[in-house]
A and B are shown apart, each in its own frame.
Chain A
Amino acid sequence: MDVKVKILRYNPEVADEAEWKTYAVTLQPTDRVLDALHKIKWDQDGTLTFRRSCGHGVCGSDAMRINGRNRLACKTLIKDLNPEKEITVEPIKGLPVLKDLVVDMEPFFDAYRSVMPFLVTSGHEPTRERIQSQADRDRFDDTTKCILCAACTTSCPVFWSDGQYFGPQAIVGAHRFIFDSRDEGTEQRLEILNDKEGVWRCRTTFNCTDACPRGIEVTKAIQEVKRALIFRRV
């Protein structure tokens, strides 16, 4: 089928302003948006720039705004996008655009790194594994699925208007350890998120949950962290 793909192009080496460009591509309905971008780059315009790696939704490189919604290009099928109309593709919002669909990921990773996203323990390590029941393991399963694609954080209206806000992903990253029965860093992590740019900025618009390509219940995780802060226990 013949599809029109409209892409927001930006290259500061060439022009100061971003501009829309439309490409005509022949695709299968089951092709992914990433296939469309590759066809454009490989057959029409080699300057089109985007990140991608695994190509099947596990590496988190190719989050972008497709028809106004944050998604992974490699996980979005053309047939699911109403392809009779133009498909629009633009960079995720709220992070500085560096070229075409490539944004500066450093502020995003900074937020993640700032919530102590690693297991904190004290005392001697056991000889064998730490014992954890499957029920305790299941408690934080949902937030272990995060691939750091930034689809959630860059769909959040609070993050758009306030770049200081940690954003949903960082809270998901903290949640994964706060609710891990082996972890002893909860107090410190909760204190970090108690900051005025922490969990309390969340307005529960659920954009993040809708955007997550891994199906993580992001808003729920944020609410659980808020509750843990109020009651000081997990």
Chain B
Amino acid sequence: MQRHQYDVVIVGAGGAGMRAALESSKRTRTAVLTKLYPTRSHTGAAQGGMCAALANVEEDNWEWHTFDTVKGGDFLVDQDAAEVMCREAVDAVLDLEKMGLPFNRTAEGKIDQRFFGGHTRNHGEAVVRRSCFAADRTGHMILQTLYQQCIKQNVEFFNEFYVLDLLMVNGRSTGVVAYELATGELHIFSAKSVVFASGGFGKVFRTTSNAHTLTGDGMGIVWRKGLPLEDMEFFQFHPTGLAGLGVLLSEAARGEGGILRNKDNERFMERYAPTVKDLAPRDMVARAMANEVREGRGCGPDGAYVMLDLTHLEPAHIDAKLPDITEFARTYLGVEPYTEQIPVFPTAHYAMGGIPTNIKGEALANNDDAIPGLYAAGEVACVSVHGANRLGTNSLLDINVFGRRAGIAAAEYAATAGFEDLPDAPETYVVDLVEGLRNSTGQERIAAIRADLQATMDLNAQVYRTEGSLKQALVDIEGLKQRFANVAVQDKGKRFNTDLLEAVELGFLIDLAEVLVVSALARKESRGGHFREDYDKRDDVNFMRHTMAYREVDAEGNINIRLDYKPVVQTRYKPMERKY
């Protein structure tokens, strides 16, 4: 076992982690721990763009962007946080350009901008070109550019280090315990500040745009410390996943003029969102698609999907603006987007919920109090700028704005605080976890449990939910917890034991699936990404509030989930009915 000491430890090296690292490492001694290599992070899979009211191609301002973000989030957005994000968006984009990000350009050589779902001029009047982009690989360019800047700045990375526990002393965060994949060795990192930037947990669902590695480790670690998770019932299903596979096709396809059609070739979004049509927010489009399929207007032999139509666009336009996603259609479905429509269906995409933070990126122990030394940013966090439904492009914005803020805050705290003495044997929890799994004599296969978890989540906790379906999911998860207690790890070795780590990750997924379902069961309304068929209206009287879930262990050692609620911060905008 090795021991390390850094002022700031950042967990995760996607967009939020590296943006934080660029701030933190120029102020103080910083280590970035990632279970992958930085450039493998899932920020790189983001496609369509990053919105900021640059007004490069038409009139725009950050207040309109704030309104769209609040309305898009079905008014569960904390409006102070949305204001911060949309105001700082302009500088966030310009910063990336100065770092070298190769944005597409206008005729005058400025950063080009295009339409994106839910982004409008003057509070919903018409769609607006706000998304700054680099073809349909904006996330790839952000990830590469941030990594390049990290190289320039000599940021210290620990690659393929799985952080498995957070160390806390007297309510303060004091470091982490990490498992080194190459050797199986444990590492204790003592740190004044810890920043979680470890991404989401899309692998609780079977059909997902998320990477295999998005298993919610950061949220799971914090959860097991008894710290709260906020708004976990709000999960975004992206309308256009490749049917059957879930591989993401950017909303930019519709921003550039793509149209969704049902089996009658009808542009059905005209019925659901007459003004913005195919560019309605994702939750509305995903539900509309699922509804078309349920009502028998789906395409294909089983009527199981709808079609994304790009055939009216010029091939040269497609090649210039949407090269990657059209290649996905060719590679994985053998469909030629120039001449054929592409089969698509909603795919689990983004966790709006996560570790609650304030606008500085400080993680919260309850509704009000920050945990000294603990920060979170990006998908792992819930500020909440996305509320009940994130607008397209606002995730790339979130990681840049709040990654930066968390990096600064973590470094500034480290400048004022000392190191805490760690508890004796701080590695105990991780040793028990890892060795317990490695030495298990059970017979249950990891993959079988995970597949069953994903199946019940897809069936019971996806676009449409009811009390009955959610209760079924809970029963299923209970059974899976029992089976997980007997899980078998076949690889007993130390070296690159990915079998063992998959078991650890599955443990986090099961925990988080349960939090999601319990939170969803209690929210007896429909709002944004959370749609209850048995309560199909938004209920501002009872549910205009954030869910705060806590893990509690009673005297007999039973683990229970306790739900509490937190008020929504409202500044400028009063809730209104969400029409597009």
Contacts and interface: CB of A to CB of B under 8 A. Distances in A.
A91 B445 CA distance: 26
Interface string A120-141: 0100011011111110110011
Contacts of A61: 36-37, 40
B445 A42 contact: yes
A130 B39 contact: no
Nearest to A146: B144
Interface stretch (B145-153, B268-276, B298-306): B145-153
Contacts of B111: 129
Contacts of A60: 39-40
B213 A11 contact: no
Contacts of B103: 129, 137
Given A41-B499, A47-B491, A129-B110, A119 B99 contact: yes
B490 interface: yes
Given A98-B496, A137-B102, A46 B42 contact: no
Contacts of B100: 118-119, 177, 180, 182-183
Contacts of B144: 144, 146
Contacts of A183: 100
Interface stretch (A49-57, A156-164, A191-199, A201-209): A49-57
Contacts of B499: 41, 46-47, 49
Interface in B35-88: 36-37, 39-42, 44-45
A54 B37 CA distance: 12
A49 B211 contact: no
B561 interface: no
A59 B211 contact: yes
A117 B447 contact: no
Contacts of B535: none
Size category of the binding interface on chain B? 35 or more
B313 interface: no
B39 A147 contact: yes
B182 interface: yes
A63 to B, nearest CB: 11
A99 B495 CA distance: 8
B498 interface: yes
B211 A137 contact: no
A56 B148 contact: no
A75 B331 contact: yes
Interface residues of A, number: 61
Contact of B495 (A12, A59, A77, A137): A12
A123 B225 CA distance: 48
- Where chain A touches its partner, the secondary structure class is loop
A54 B211 contact: yes
Interface in A49-87: 49-61, 75, 77
A166 B86 CA distance: 42
B140 interface: yes
A46 B494 contact: no
Given A53-B42, A60-B39, A117 B109 contact: no
Given A129-B93, A130-B98, 6 more contacts: A45-B490, A46-B489, A55-B212, A109-B37, A119-B148, A129-B110
Interface of B: 36-37, 39-42, 44-45, 93-94, 97-100, 102-112, 134-135, 137, 140-141, 144, 148-149, 151-152, 182, 211-213, 245, 247-248, 324, 328, 331-334, 445-447, 488-491, 493-499
Interface of A: 11-14, 30, 38, 41-43, 45-47, 49-61, 75, 77, 98-100, 102, 105, 109, 113, 116-119, 121, 125-126, 128-134, 136-137, 140-141, 144-148, 177, 180, 182-183
21 contacts: A13-B494, A49-B496, A54-B45, A55-B212, A59-B39, A77-B331, A99-B496, A102-B496, A129-B93, A129-B94, A130-B98, A131-B110, A136-B109, A137-B104, A144-B102, A144-B134, A145-B137, A147-B44, A148-B39, A177-B100, A182-B100
